[in-house]
Amino acid sequence: MVSDRWVLHVDLDQFIAAVEVLRRPELRGLPVVVGGQGDPTRRAVVATASYEARAFGVRSGIPLKLAVKRCPQAVFLPSDPAAYTAASAEVMAALREFDAVVEVLGWDEAFLGVTTADPVTLAREIHDVVLDRTRLHCSVGIGDNKLRAKLATDFGKPQGVFLLTAENWFEVMGERPTDALWGIGAKTARKLTELGLTTVADLAAADPDTLAVRMGPTIGPWLRTLGLGAGSTEVSGEPYVPRSHSHETTFQENLTDVEDMRAAVVELTGRLMAEVNADGRPVIRVGVKARFAPFFTQTRSLTLAGPTTDQADIEAAALVALERFELDRPVRLLGVRAEFTPPPEGY
CA distance 225 to 228: 5
CB 8 within 8 A of CB 140: yes
Torsion of CA 323, 326, 328, 333, to 10 degrees: -70
Asked if the peptide bond before residue 158 counts as cis, ω within 30 degrees of 0, the response is yes
| 108 marked as part of a ligand binding site | yes
Strands 161-164 and 138-143: parallel
Longest dimension (CA), the chain: 65
Q: How far is CA 175 from the centre of its chain?
A: 24
CB 150 within 8 A of CB 143: yes
Of the residues 20, 52, 103, 109, only one is catalytic, namely: 109
- Is 109 labeled as catalytic in the residue annotation? yes
Annotated binding site: 11, 108
Residues acting as catalytic residues: 109
Annotated binding site for Mg(2+): 11, 108
